[in-house]
A = this chain, B = another copy of it.
């Protein structure tokens, strides 16, 4: 296998390798004549740059590491989708990982990524402490997780929760329920709960938290949801129930379970999810949701790699009404 290298086209076009290198990196320094000579040689020999060798010299790579907890949440896959889209525009390459397991595994992954001299890291997992993140020798961008001295991109969760509460109140619900997977109080998404409970004030309210909803596409999640819905049905007969779920996938699981149990979803249960991800639109009854603007989050994340400023960016939360909710 005879790889064409910079010296080959140097010979072919009768200039030095340095000049050829300059053709790619500082073409303005070359005469028009040399440029065309080099161009011809490149065409003729079908030369392709070797990024790897270049990175070794310059220290600047276009590789970016992305670590998700898992890929079973449409928020994650849609974010990945958008990250890829914006990365493509900037010429970045995403090395994608999931890491729902051990912290040591995640640290190992990161070490591996660093050994490829990634330009930066986009983290969605919650395993590392802010301090550990700060100590990493590359720019780190976190999305929806605890802060520290690095770039954070978070949704305006408090407002999101508040908007959910307000809509459910406008819809004349008698009982208010919040359903969440396991969380920690220092996660940004905890503010959804705070915002919701702030909006609800001292109305009849219940907060339901279940570990099993962390990955909603498991049989555990399903059986847990079955019980949750059953309980609500027996506990609040003939009441109009307003339910706010911490993400669309959980909301979707909830809606399905209601349908199975013949709960009158569009009328006696008013449902609101979070993320406004595709799953919310294509539920049996499309689910009203709080839009996190995933696309904007992705865009900001990719842009931050270029011009890194360790600060928090708050992306607005917007209520998107679907057929379950009337205009007021």
| A94-113 interface bits toward B, Cβ cutoff 8 Å, 1 = contact, 0 = none | 11111000000000010111
Say yes or no: A84-B97 contact (C-beta < 8 A), given A48-B114, A256-B282: yes
Bound form: Cα–Cα A51–B259 in Å: 53
Q: Report the count of interface residues on A (CB-CB < 8 A).
A: 51
CB distance from A52 to the nearest CB of B (A): 5
Determine if A81 and B95 form an interchain contact, defined as CB atoms under 8 angstroms apart. no
Q: Which residues of A contact B (CB under 8 A)?
A: 1, 48-53, 55-56, 61, 63, 70-72, 77-78, 80-81, 84-85, 88, 91, 93-98, 109, 111-117, 137, 216-217, 219, 222, 253, 256, 259-260, 278-279, 281-284
| Most chain B CB atoms below 10 A, which of A55, A115, A219, A283 | A115
Besides the contacts A63-B116, A84-B98, A93-B116, what 12 more A-B pairs have beta carbons closer than 8 Å? A50-B115, A51-B112, A52-B116, A56-B56, A71-B80, A72-B81, A77-B77, A93-B112, A217-B278, A222-B281, A253-B282, A256-B284
CB distance from A137 to the nearest CB of B (A): 7
CB distance from A328 to the nearest CB of B (A): 25
Q: Which of B50, B70, B94, B284 contacts A260 (CB 8 A)?
A: B284
